[in-house]
Every structure is written in structure tokens, then in C-alpha cells.
Amino acid sequence: MSHKLVSTSPTFGFYVQEPVDYLKQHGCEVELVPQGKKLTEDELVECASRVNAMIVGVEKITQRVIEGGKNLKVIAKHGAGVDNIDMATATAKGIVVTSAPGANSDAVADLTFGLFLAAARQIPTADRLVKGGEWPRIVGTAVNRKTLGIIGVGQIGKKVAKRARGFDMEVLVYDVVKDEAFAAEFGATYVALDEVLTKADFISIHVPLIDATRNLIGAREFGLMKETAFLVNVARGGVVDEKALFDALQEKRIAGAAADVFTQEPAKGNPLLTLDNLIATPHMGMYTREALIDTGMICVRNIVDALEGRKPEFLNNPEVLS
């Protein structure tokens, strides 16, 4: 039996072919929305209305979109976080929502340390000045033997802690759920959030965007940080109060920051982009070829399992199978 599927993700099917081939081998007609096209809600409703499955990125899958999917059976996130999908409506309509957690964790952990090094050693500034004909003497900050604070100790946070061992860093971690076995293995210490902020020289954020984490890092939290501290956010833009971050950077209350995520993406016009002590990247944490293959294959296996009546491995609303 043939199933119709549309992908509105800007990455699925454009960089690696293996996941698309898997879908076709399992009887799926695959349509890819042109890369870079930003769909309106009306266009997303139209897409949902004619398919059995959708692969989505970070676009908003609203109640109206889901209710427009008369034959929609699966919504698969091409990534981990499902905060852009109206889970209550999907569940009420019996639509399976899946994700691909952990597949991009190494890629995101690598980028986290890349951003730490770029910020601490002012690599983007050095590159720009040298290409402009200058030969400046730039004095940076060492990363090795410093204190790293990790906010959110899921798969990505743990892999950041693992990488920190190569830099001989002291690792302080904060999470509402503690994994003491992990802490013992990697020499990490669980502390309160305020202690992470007060003591860490480098801080990275790896929490999902939910009500409890929205604006988790705001003016009060920046006030606790060292003036020499660097912050990296590769989680979700809404976890950091961007106005408070702007103020902290502009007033030099922290040394620098890097953001791979913003509250509105693309981030054109965001005041943060005017600051020399902020490094901005285009939500590229998961984008390595290896991570895209792993994420894509988890995504499509979830879809095929759901369409063929099996429980997907990474099901976000298991109550739909009750």
C-alpha cells in the first residue's frame, strides 16, 4: 500500500539520500518542499490535507494544521525537540508524533566546544581583521583548566562533559534529574543553578524549551555570572532572555556569548547581531553529514513503523496507541 508523505524540513532529503531511499523502498511517495521556502499556516494546512505523514523542522505545526490533516497519521520531527508541534491536538486526533533524539548529540557537542574556543580566542574577529589587511595582536582567554558549567545534562550535555575532560576542566552540572553514575564516570559535580552561574568560566545550555525553562537565563542570572564568563546557547532561543543577554554583553557584564539559536529564526534584525562580543551561527548544531544520516534514518524508521501498525521507537505521545 502506498503512503503519501511530505517533508517541510529544510534539511531532510537535501544533503543525504539514504533516508529518502528507505521511505521509497517501503512504499512511500515522498514530496520535498523546496529548500528555503517558508510555508505559511495556510500552506502547511494544504500540505497536511493531502498526506498520511509529515516530516517537519522547526515550523509551527498548529492546531489548525493538524486538524487539516484528514488522513494524517504521523508527524515526525526531523530532530529532537517537539515544542513547535501542538501535541495536545495531535494526541486528541490520534496522530502519532515521533522525534529523533540523540542522533545529533555528537554534532551539537562538537559545535558547543567550537563556539567556546571561537569566543574565548576571538577567532571570528581575528579572521575578519586579517582578511581586511590587518595583523592585530589579539589576547584571548584559555579554555583549559577552567570551570565548565553545563545546564541540562541529557545526551548532549553529557557529551559536552566528556569533551571537557580533554581540556582538564572542572565540570559543574545542573539538571532537575540527576544521573550520579554519569557524574562519577566523568568527574562532574551536580550543584544548584545559581552555583553553576556563579562559579563557571564557560557555561553551555542544553535544555528543551518548555514553560519551566522559558527565559531561564535572564537579568538576575547574568548578574550572578563572572565578568570573564562566556555563555553558549545551542538549545532553544527562548531559554535565554535575549534583551537581558544584549544588556549583559553591551555593558560587558560577561565577556562574551555565542548563540546557535534565537527566539525568531532567521535572526535578521535581531539587536544581538550588532554586538562584537556575540558569535552567531544559523541553528547549525545538528548539521554534519553523519548526524543528518542518523537523524534521518531514525525519523523514517519511526514513520514506517507507525504507518505499518508498529510502535515507533521514539514516540512522543504513547497514549495515542491506547
State pLDDT tens for residues 178-187.
999 999 999 9
Active site residue 283: yes
Integer CA distances (angstroms), 279 to 13, 100, 119, 235, 296, in order: 29, 27, 7, 15, 28
Among candidate residues 29, 185, 265, 313, the one labeled active-site is: 265
∠ CA 111-126-117, rounded to 5°: 30
Per-residue exposure over 58-89, b if at least 16 CB sit within 10 Å of its own CB, e if not: bbebbeebbbbbeebbbbbbbbbebbbbbbeb
Domains annotated on the chain, with CATH: 3-103+288-321 (3.40.50.720), 105-280 (3.40.50.720)
Among candidate residues 221, 236, 242, 301, the one labeled active-site is: 236
Could you read off the pLDDT of 228-275 as tens digits, one per residue? 999 999 999 999 999 999 999 999 999 999 999 999 999 999 999 999
What is the reported pLDDT for 172? Answer: 98
What DSSP letter does each residue of 189-236 carry, written as one string?
EE--HHHHHHH-SEEEE----STTTTT-B-HHHHHHS-TT-EEEE-S-
44 Cβ neighbours under 8 A, 6+ residues apart: 8, 59, 60, 61, 62, 65, 68
Active site residue 50: no
Could you read off the pLDDT of 17-29 as tens digits, one per residue? 999 999 999 999 9
Active site residue 31: no
